[in-house]
C-alpha cells in the first residue's frame, strides 16, 4: 500500500495521517477565502496579507526583511509585492533618519482602509469554532500551538512570537507560567503573536 498521507487507504489506518490531511483541507479553505477577497480588491493574496500585517503590527516590524520572514517568502518576492502596493497608493516607504539605505513601510489612508476591508476574510472559521465548548477550544488551541512550535523548531515555519519560544514562558508541573505577567497561564491565555515576546535562546 502507498503510505502517502493523502492516500485514503493509508489515512484509514492512522489517526495522525487523518489529522494532517484535515489540516491541509483547512489550509485550502484559508487560501480560497483569501483569493476571494483578493479578487474583489484586485490585489494578490500576499498583498492582502502584507496590508493586514502592517495594519496590526508595530512600525519596527514593517520592513521587507521582516515580511519575508513572516510569510516564508524571498525578499525579491516581497519587494515586488510591496512595489505593487506602492504603485496602487496603498503603501509608502518611510526612510530611516540614520540610514539612508533603510526604510520601514507605512500604510496610506487608502491602504489602511483596504486592510480594514480585508482583515475579516478568515471570519468564516469562527462559526464552527463557536459550536465547540470552551474546554474544547482551549484544548484545540494548546494542541495547535504545540504543532506550530514543533514545526518552528524543525525550521518548517519561522513564526517566533508565541509563548512556547519566549524567554518569559515556563512550563511547570502546575501548567503554563509567564514571568513577565508573573502569573499562571490557562490554555486560553497562550498567545500565538505576543507584542511583548522575547525570543528564548533555547528555541533557536
Concatenate the DSSP letters of all residues of 49-82 into one string: HHHHHHHHS-GGG-SHHHHHHHTT--HHHHHHHH
Q: State pLDDT tens for residues 35-82.
A: 999 998 899 999 999 999 999 999 888 999 999 988 989 999 999 999
Over residues 131-148, mean pLDDT: 93
CA 36 to chain centre: 19
C-alpha cell of residue 41: 480588491
Instruction: Please state the domain extents for the chain.
Output: 32-123, 134-203
DSSP state of 159: -
The pTM for the full model equals: 0.84
Classify domain 32-123 by CATH number.
Answer: 1.10.10.10
The answer on pLDDT for 204 being more than 50 is no
The answer on pLDDT for 3 being more than 70 is yes
Over residues 73-102, mean pLDDT: 89
Contacts of 65 (CB under 8 A, 6+ apart): 75
The answer on pLDDT for 31 being more than 90 is yes
pLDDT of residue 152: 86
Amino acid at each position: 500500500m502507498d503510505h502517502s498521507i493523502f492516500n485514503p487507504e493509508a489515512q484509514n489506518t492512522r489517526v495522525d495521517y487523518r489529522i494532517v490531511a484535515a489540516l491541509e483541507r483547512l489550509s485550502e479553505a484559508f487560501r480560497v477565502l483569501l483569493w476571494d477577497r483578493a479578487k474583489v480588491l484586485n490585489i494578490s493574496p500576499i498583498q492582502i496579507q502584507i496590508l493586514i500585517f502592517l495594519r496590526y503590527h508595530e512600525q519596527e516590524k514593517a520592513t521587507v526583511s521582516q515580511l519575508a520572514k513572516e510569510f516564508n517568502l524571498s525578499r525579491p518576492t516581497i519587494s515586488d509585492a510591496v512595489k505593487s502596493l506602492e504603485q496602487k497608493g496603498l503603501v509608502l516607504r518611510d526612510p530611516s533618519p540614520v540610514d539612508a539605505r533603510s526604510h520601514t513601510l507605512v500604510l496610506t489612508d487608502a491602504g489602511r482602509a483596504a486592510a480594514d476591508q480585508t482583515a475579516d476574510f478568515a471570519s468564516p472559521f469562527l462559526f464552527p469554532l463557536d459550536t465547540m465548548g470552551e474546554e474544547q477550544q482551549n484544548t484545540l488551541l494548546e494542541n495547535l500551538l504545540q504543532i506550530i512550535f514543533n514545526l518552528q523548531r524543525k525550521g518548517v515555519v519561522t513564526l517566533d512570537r508565541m509563548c512556547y519560544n519566549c524567554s518569559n514562558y515556563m512550563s511547570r508541573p502546575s501548567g503554563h507560567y509567564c514571568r513577565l505577567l508573573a502569573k499562571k497561564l490557562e490554555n486560553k491565555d497562550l498567545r500565538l503573536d505576543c507584542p511583548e515576546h522575547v525570543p528564548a535562546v533555547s528555541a533557536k
